Structure 1
Amino acid sequence: MAPEAQHGAARLSLAERLSYGAGDFGFSLAYNMAGAFLLFYYTNVAMLPAAAVGTIFLAARLLDAVIDIFVGIAVDKTRTRWGRTRPYFLFTAIPYALVFILVFTVPDWSENAKLIYAFLTFKALGILMSLGSIPYTALMPMMTTDTGERLKLGGMR
């Protein structure tokens, strides 16, 4: 069944609910790993000052709040032969994986250059996460109008 097919109030199969949950797993796993281990990596492996890394994280998250709004608007306005949300999944997955690798590959440069690199790669990861996650969330009401089914889908995420 097409991911953006309108189910109306029809019940979703277990396979559809599991598929929806598994699809989000890929985007969330990488971002959660970065969230859990990146502070340690930047401070203990890349040898960046903790205060600077904290500032990078704060600035990146504040920018995320603004970027997310624009991604949501873009999803609402998207009309392609693949649907409204599928292009975001198709065209962000590989760049997202590559940027995830780059986030954990800080070159042996000067401290300032490493800080700039850390900010740019972490921010790029956040933007790509938004470009994958926000359309994925928008997919849920396209799959069913039933509130109970939406709750089950949300639980699968």
Structure 2
Amino acid sequence: MIILDKSQKTVTIEAAPFGIKDKIGYMFGDIGNNFSFNVVNSFLMIFYTNVLGLTGAQVGILFISARFIDAFADITVGRLVDNSKLHKIGRFKPWMNRMRWFLLIAFILVFVPIVKDWALPMRFVWVFVTYLAWGIFYSSVNIPYGSMASAISSDPDDKTSLSTFRAMGSALGSALTSYILPMFIYIGASQKISGNRFFIVVVVCAVIAFICYHLTTI
């Protein structure tokens, strides 16, 4: 519990007892991450080449360019989070509550199938802007999420438990997206890609990720 005394400009923090609720809630954060991050890592290249018609070289240029920008974005987001206002629910939860909307909207826009009908220059501009936006917004959710462990408890044993449950959430989210999603993305035994089906799956993943983030921040 955080008590703000505006008259004396002081902040009193009363830590709630650490328990299984904290562990499970923290685990759901990385499940939510993987319903965005792992989907992009595992299937975006396939979407860009098989649905949007980009070449492997074009996608490679996009990914390399984004890595340079992401390096600066991570540092910037980290500084903004550290210097942000302390609220009644802490410093990190408000960031996740705000930025998850932008992250998941950008995640959906990355996989919009109608872009395949645009001229090549417009397609490339679209994928560059949306992919870059997704990466920046992902950092704005993942960085405060990772920092939250130190705010939940200062006990080293508790932090170890949170790290373990986060790893469990990551493994579960990765397994769900890696082994179950292909059953819905591909069409029949031919393994043909459907852009519209791809988009529907991504929207469902965004909804699941939103629920997971909510369970982490409540």
Normalised by the length of structure 2, the TM-score is 0.65
Equivalent residues in 2 for 1:30-109, closer than 5 Å: 30-82=36-88, 83-106=90-113, 107=115, 108-109=117-118
Is residue 156 of structure 2 the alignment partner of residue 144 of structure 1? no
Dislocated runs of 4+, deviation >4 Å: 5-8
Partners of 1:14 and 1:53 in 2: CA distance: 43
- Give per-residue Cα distances to partners, 1:25-58, cap 9 Å, x unaligned: 2133211101110000001111001111011111
Offset of 1:89 from its aligned partner? 1.0
Counterparts of 1:7 and 1:61, CA distance in 2: 38
Q: Does 1:154 align with 2:136?
A: no
Would you say the 8 A contact 1:6–1:142 is kept in 2? no
Mapped to 2, the partners of 1:6 and 1:120 lie a distance apart of 43
SS at match of 1:135: helix
SS in 2 for 1:20: helix
Distance of 2:40 and 2:156 partners within structure 1: 32
Matched residues in 2 for 1:6 and 1:41: separation? Answer: 48
- Structure 1 residue runs of 5 or longer lacking an equivalent are none
Partner AA of 1:86 in structure 2: K
Residue identity matched to 1:65: A
Larger Rg: 2
Q: Could you tell me how far apart the structure 2 residues matched to 1:112 and 1:50 are?
A: 16
Aligned length: 153
Conserved in 2, the CA contact under 8 Å of 1:72 and 1:134? yes
Write out per-residue CA displacement over residues 108-145 of structure 1, whole angstroms, 9 at most, x where no aligned residue: 21112111111110111111100000011111111111
2:103 partner letter:
Y
Please give the alpha-carbon distance, in whole angstroms, between the structure 1 residues aligned to 2:148 and 2:57. 38
Using the TM superposition, name which of 60-69 and 75-84 deviates more.
75-84
Q: Per the alignment, do residues 134 and 145 of structure 1 end up closer, same or farther by CA in structure 2, a change over 3 Å counting?
A: same
Indicate the structure whose relative CO is greater, using CA pairs within 8 Å and at least 6 residues apart.
Answer: 1
Residue 61 (structure 1) shift: 1.8
Whichever structure has more strand as a proportion of its residues is 2
Identity of aligned residues (%): 32
1:14 counterpart (20, 24, 27): 20
Aligned residue identity for 1:43: T
